[in-house]
Amino acid sequence: MGMPEKYLDATLVPAGVILMGLYHVYLVYKIAHHPKTTVIGLNNINRRLWVHAIMKERMKNGVLAVQTIRNSIMASTLLASTAITLCSVVGLLLGVGNRPDEFTLYGRTGSVTSSLKCMLVLVCFLVAFVCHAQCVRYYSHVSFLITTPPPLEAEMEGCDAHAEYVSTVFNKGAYFWSLGLRAFYFSLPLFLWNFGPIPMFVCSCCLLSFLHSLDTTNSLSTFYNNGCKRGVTN
């Protein structure tokens, strides 16, 4: 065998984690500086436009806005419940079995190593739960802010600061939604680490390819750059 078994965990696992970290550093840079080339950036723009459109006619669009946000709250609640349930399952697995540490083709095995792997998966699910709970919090705020009239002085001056604030709160909830989903995604290669560093590394590479196809878009960027400039800041 070209590589001793004891070096598999020390090389493939950090390589997979570093690849995922570098990809998300790149994604954050694209969202911050070139948002129209990413799905997250385009969705932020669309949510801002939607909030401004809804708040221009609050009495007419209020029911539509509340129903739309309610659906988002229900989805976040479902994912938060799923995350905390999986935390309970992983917590039970932490107390199962005690074996001496040893090296095999599937990486390092043993009670300490298995507990570490389960703990990392548990952390992912806890992060997912907290993020989706925060998502519900922000969406709940938006559900009444979006139908609240702006202060009289701002309305007389034609100021859109109130709608801009509501759209900012809305986008913060969406950011927590994305972070919660990323935590679920990250738990998959960490879970496969229980079957060895090779499945973990292969899953990390496949996951990065999958996420890249979901996160980037070029079909609408030209449209937003040329035909959708409405004075909305990114």
What pLDDT tens digit does each residue of the chain (234 aa) get? 445 556 777 788 899 999 999 999 999 999 999 888 899 999 999 999 999 888 888 777 778 888 999 999 999 999 999 999 998 888 777 765 555 555 544 455 556 777 788 888 999 999 999 999 999 999 999 988 888 877 655 554 555 778 888 999 999 999 999 999 999 999 999 988 888 888 899 999 999 999 999 998 775 555 555 554 444 443
What is the CA angle 64-52-47, rounded to 5? 75
Largest CA distance in the chain: 77
**pTM of the prediction?**
0.81
Q: Where are the domains of the chain?
A: 38-223
